[in-house]
Amino acid sequence: MKNERPETGGFFQRDRTWQPPAFSPGYKSTVVRSPQRAPVSFGNTLTEITGPVFGRSLLGPLDNDLTVNYAKPGESAIGPRIVVYGRVLDENARPVPNVLVEFWQANAGGRYRHKKDGYLAPLDPNFGGCGRTITDEDGNYWFRTIQPGAYPWPNGINDWRPAHIHFAIFGHGFVQRLITQMYFEGDPMIWQCPIVRTIPDRKAIEGLVAALDMASTVPMDARAYKFDIVLRGRRSTLFENKLEGN
């Protein structure tokens, strides 16, 4: 790690007109799970500015390869082989290094390895559906997986989720914590999805669509999708009268 003074500035206010509102009746589950009163704000304290960090010793060698991390030895998951890569940045466009990125997804048929998923598509005995990695010094991450399938879900009579990968990202402060979903370039299902449509701004949705990157493919092996993630940025302490530390 670089020997830098830890950042201690407060985080920029979250743009609640950009983020999906809690109450989004097109996505029916939000109706009784959405707070109705305004959330309360106060300036960030150390509780918000600090957050847990995870060392690379946490990671096993297969943690970022979903094609084999649940498979029997010598076998691998069924489906289009892909690499997903990108950077974790903050709103100041600076990389967020050394943060844990976790991901989970359905299999190539659109079925999750979960008791509550009763979709007709079969489980893949070689696919668990979870993985994790830690960003490098420049905020880069990557993992290998199979492209998940679309699937129907109980909301309207005939609603389908576009193919997607769930992401959970830690920042350096606990209030940077973010969960989102990555979609795939060119998928017409994206624009019909009630969960996608909880996001009011089309540009914000486009920010969730990973680009096919033929230049980063692994020839004769896997295509590549690039997905950058932006976490909340923090105020610089440059202009403060009293700098902390040395």
Classify the C-alpha dihedral 96-97-100-106 as positive or negative.
positive
SS3 224: strand
Rule CB under 8 A: which of 19-58 touch another protein? 19-22, 24, 27, 29-37, 39-54, 58
Min dist CB 128 to another protein, Å, is 5
Asked if 159 is part of the footprint of another protein (rule: CB under 8 A), the reply reads: no
SS3 238: coil
Min dist CB 131 to another protein, Å, is 8
Q: Which is nearer to another protein, 39 or 219 (CB)?
A: 39
Asked if 214 is part of the footprint of another protein (rule: CB under 8 A), the reply reads: no
Rule CB under 8 A: which of 187-206 touch another protein? 195-196, 198-199, 201, 203-205
Asked if 209 is part of the footprint of another protein (rule: CB under 8 A), the reply reads: no
On the 0-12 / 13-18 / 19+ scale of CB atoms within 10 A, 111 is buried
Q: Which is nearer to another protein, 127 or 222 (CB)?
A: 127
Q: Give Cβ neighbours of residue 135 (< 8 Å, ≥ 6 apart).
A: 87, 88, 95, 96, 97, 98, 99, 101, 141
Catalytic residue among 70, 85, 112, 183: 112
For 233, other C-beta atoms within 10 Å of its C-beta total 18
Q: Catalytic residue numbers?
A: 112, 151, 161, 164, 166
